[in-house]
Each structure stands twice: as C-alpha cells, then as structure tokens.
Structure 1
Amino acid sequence: MSKTYISLQGRFYLTPIVAGVVGAMRELGNVPEFSLEIGAEVIEHNESMTGQRTVDFTMVQTTSVNFSGQLEQVDEENLKYILSGMNYEVAIQTDKTESLGVVKAGDEIKLGGYNLSDVTFTDSAEPAVAIAESKYTVDLVFGTVKFKEDISTPVVAKFTTGAVTHTTLASDFSSEYQLFFKGINTANGDNVAVTLHRTKKSPETEFPLIHEELGSYSISGQALSDVTKMVDGNLGLYGYMVTIPKAA
C-alpha cells in the first residue's frame, strides 16, 4: 500500500476585491508560517430512553474558516495590511513656516516633515533676525531640532520637506482580499493550490519596534462565504484546495 505524506512550501498572494471585482494578485514575500482553522458550532441531541442520555444525533449549525500566519517582507503594501491602515503619499512642501514659540536650552522639537532641506530659524522681531546655527542642531532626516541656548523671543522655523509615505494605524477594517496559495508538496513533488474567495484580516496584531533579529509579523483573519459559488459546488463557499499531480 502506497503512503502519501505532505510537507508544504510555497508562495502566498493577496488580491484586492473592489465592488465585487477581483483585481491583480500581489505576492506577500516569504511566509514562514500559515495555517487554516475550520470551526463549527454543533447541536447535539441526547436520547432519553436508555437512562444514559447518550448523544444520538448531531447537526452542524454554523461553520467558520479562519487563518493565521507570519509575514517577513514589510514593503509599503504589506505594512498597510499588517497595520490595518491606509497609505498616503505626502508630497514635497516648499518654504513651510512654523511658529515654535519661546524655547529653552535642551528643548527638542518635532517639525512638520521629514528629509528636510533649506532649514532656517528666525526670531519674531521686526525685521526678523536669523538665529545662529551654533544655537541649535537639526536632524534633517527625522525633522527635529534641539536648541542649545534659550531663545527669549518666539522662534519661527522655515524649511522644505521631502516626499514620504504615511501608513495609518488601525484605520481600514473593511477591505476584502482573495487569498491564493501556490504550493509544492516536497514529500512527493505534487503541486497544491488553495483559494479563499473572500477574506478579511483581523485588526488585532503585535508590531514590535525593537528587534534583535529580522522582524516577523503575525496576521490573522477570517474567510467569508461567497454564496455565488453555490452554483458550482466544487468551488466551495469559503474556498477550495487543488492537488495537481506531478507531471509524468
């Protein structure tokens, strides 16, 4: 009798679903862990004839399919997915002006932008007088300034910002994606495909900001049923798995 074992590796893809239309697939990068969990709520009936109240009938009332996994590639789209956020492209702003108020030695202040250039500080006199560069230190990348001396008159900053991408936190709970897995069973060489028609990611996650090794980020979510697939039963309401035999 032949034995069939399974040891899967493969690639995962997400496809956004907009207004019911499935778009182009996007590969998620290396996914070291991914699993499906099938759940059910079962009604049990106990007979009352033998005195032992045994279960003589069961009925599946509801079903569920959940997923969980780990993502290692953190590009802009994966970051948006992990954080349940939205990406916004923030354009360059030239000659941006901000009032910082009166500052004291040791004050560090965040300016409104990143990758700054053409940074100057003046006091609020008329006419304005430039503040000497020896009185402050600017971190151009992160857009912060630290003052070395007290400035008794309100300080005005002027600068140009760089173009950056903002990814919001916990702001997108409605996006749906089709999930597709291209896998290989390394135990026998067969290929395996899995499709989940509709999925929604859970907003619950952990996102460490300090690492000793490469970051790996947990994701989880739920597969939603697609009642349009009832017409073709072999597609399943939640999705389906395909075993593709190794070519002869």
Structure 2
Amino acid sequence: MAKNNYISLHGKFYLAELVNGVAGAMRHIGNVPEFELEIGADVIEHQESMSGKRTTDFTMITTTSVNFTGQLEEVTPENLEYILSGMNHTVATKTETDVSLGAVVAGQEIKLDGYNLKTVSFKDSTSGTAKTVEPENYTLDAKFGTVIFHDVADLTMPILASYETGAVTRTTLASDFEKEYQLFFKGINTANGDHVAVTLWRTKKSPETNFPLIHEELGQYEISGQALSDMTKESDPALGLYGHVVTIPAAV
C-alpha cells in the first residue's frame, strides 16, 4: 500500500548574504515557528463578445511575484541587524576625562556616553582645587551609564565626569535596505518521513516590521520580504528563476 502524501513540515532556515551576486557562508537563523511563501500574479482577462454572456475566453499572466512572511525568535546580533534593516557596529572601549555634564540638578537622571562603565569619578569646577563628588552623593547605574546626583548645593557647575566605557555592539535602525540573501530551508515532512529543501536565489527583506520592547512571553519578530528573480538561472528551467522546492525521498 502506497504511503499517504500528506505534508507537515519542520526544519531549519539559513541565510547567505549575496555579495556581487555570489552567496557567502550560510548562517542558521535559529528557531522559526512560522514561515510561508506567497505566489502572486497579475492576470489580464479577455471577455468574448459573441455569445452574449461575456465569458472569459483567454487569460495572460503579465507579472509574477514570490513573497515570504515568517517569524524569528532568536535575536543574535546578525538576526537583530536583519530584523531592523540596520547595520552592526562594534563600539570599542574608550576613556573619557573631565567631560562636562553641564549644570546638574539634584534628582535628575543623566546619561553618560557609554555602557559598562568603570573607574567612574565626578568633580565640580571650583577654581584651583576642584571638589570631588563622593559616591554617597550620587547613584550610578554603570551597566546603562546613567547617574543621579542627590546633593549639588555646594558644587560649582558644571560637573565634570571621568570614566572608562565597555565594548558594545550598536545596531542602527532602518539604515540598510539593499542587502540581499539567498534563503535555504532544510525540512523534514513529519507526515511521511521525506525531506524537503527550498532555495530562493535572491531575497530582500521588507523594511516594515514591528519590534516589541516589552514581552510577557518569549519575543517573536515578524519578517516579510520578496524573492527576486535570478536571470542567470534562465538557461536551466529546472532551477527556476525565483528558486525551487526539492523533494528528497528516503534513500533506497
């Protein structure tokens, strides 16, 4: 008895950045709970005028499209860059000396220029010998680089800050819309044991996305985009201009 050809897919997704049309190393993008392809077409319909019923007697497809939507759950630096259509920048450590904080008001929180701060100290601008601000007179959040001064009545403004910052990764927002990626899916059909591979030669993610900053459960980030045709595959119809789906039967 032949097995049923039902389908229930699970698998791994990979992106390979395209540089000058050449796909680089594949990068596994983590757990993807949802992903789907949508094939669209613009169709011209012709209605005959002989029968009196204006029936459609001819159709012509003028434009095709392949779009994708999905969800990412793992927010690696590379995935964050992809989700936000941004660019990653490594910000090295630096030492700041006597940076003016301006006229400080007690109780207000001030952002310093860095994160994971070390060797932090503050002093005022008293002529001659400046007054050092003692640690009990301010609350420092070294991780986020913020400070609140509690008592500034005896200090001469501006307050001067000295500190060393830690290295961080900074991901910009909506700053890179041109990257293209080859998409590859390693799938298994859990309904019958066959394996399925999907390749999209060229994909470009849409810049439109939602990025929730508060979560009650694990975060999921929606992505969408378009597959672009690869005219270098035109000579072999088995490759497909957009890509293809490969059904891999169990080895005999």
Query: TM-score band, normalised by the shorter chain?
Result: over 0.9
Rounded to whole Å, the distance in 2 between the matches of 1:235 and 1:12 is: 19
Q: Does 1:132 align with 2:134?
A: yes
Gaps of 5+ in 1: none
Is the Cα–Cα contact under 8 Å of residues 126 and 156 in structure 2 kept in the other structure? no
Rounded to whole Å, the distance in 2 between the matches of 1:121 and 1:96 is: 10
Other-structure match for 1:242: 246
Other-structure match for 1:216: 220
Identity %: 67
Is the Cα–Cα contact under 8 Å of residues 103 and 152 in structure 1 kept in the other structure? no
Is the Cα–Cα contact under 8 Å of residues 184 and 190 in structure 1 kept in the other structure? yes
2:67 corresponds to which letter in structure 1? Answer: N
Choose between structure 1 and 2: higher strand proportion: 1
Other-structure match for 1:199: 203
Rounded to whole Å, the distance in 2 between the matches of 1:36 and 1:107 is: 51
Q: For residues 63 and 91 of structure 1, do their structure 2 counterparts lie closer, same or farther at Cα, with a shift above 3 Å needed? A: same
Rounded to whole Å, the distance in 2 between the matches of 1:89 and 1:136 is: 30
Other-structure match for 1:6: 7
Q: CA offsets per residue over residues 26-77 of structure 1, 9 Å max, x none? A: 0011000000000000000011111111111000000000000010111110
2:102 corresponds to which letter in structure 1? Answer: G
Other-structure match for 1:28: 29
How many residues matched? 248
Q: TM-score, normalised by structure 2?
A: 0.96
| SS across alignment from 1:95 | strand
Show the 5 A alignment for 1:45-124. 45-124=46-125
Rounded to whole Å, the distance in 2 between the matches of 1:15 and 1:125 is: 58
Rounded to whole Å, the distance in 2 between the matches of 1:82 and 1:108 is: 31
Other-structure match for 1:146: 148
TM-superposed deviation, 1:14? 0.1
Other-structure match for 1:189: 193
Match of 1:177 among 181, 185, 190: 181
Gaps of 5+ in 2: none
1:166 corresponds to which letter in structure 2? Answer: R
1:94 corresponds to which letter in structure 2? Answer: T
Q: For residues 177 and 91 of structure 1, do their structure 2 counterparts lie closer, same or farther at Cα, with a shift above 3 Å needed? A: same
Q: For residues 40 and 211 of structure 1, do their structure 2 counterparts lie closer, same or farther at Cα, with a shift above 3 Å needed? A: same
2:121 corresponds to which letter in structure 1? Answer: T
Q: For residues 96 and 36 of structure 1, do their structure 2 counterparts lie closer, same or farther at Cα, with a shift above 3 Å needed? A: farther
Rounded to whole Å, the distance in 1 between the matches of 2:231 and 2:98 is: 55
2:149 corresponds to which letter in structure 1? Answer: F
TM-superposed deviation, 1:152? 4.5
| SS across alignment from 2:157 | strand
Other-structure match for 1:157: 161
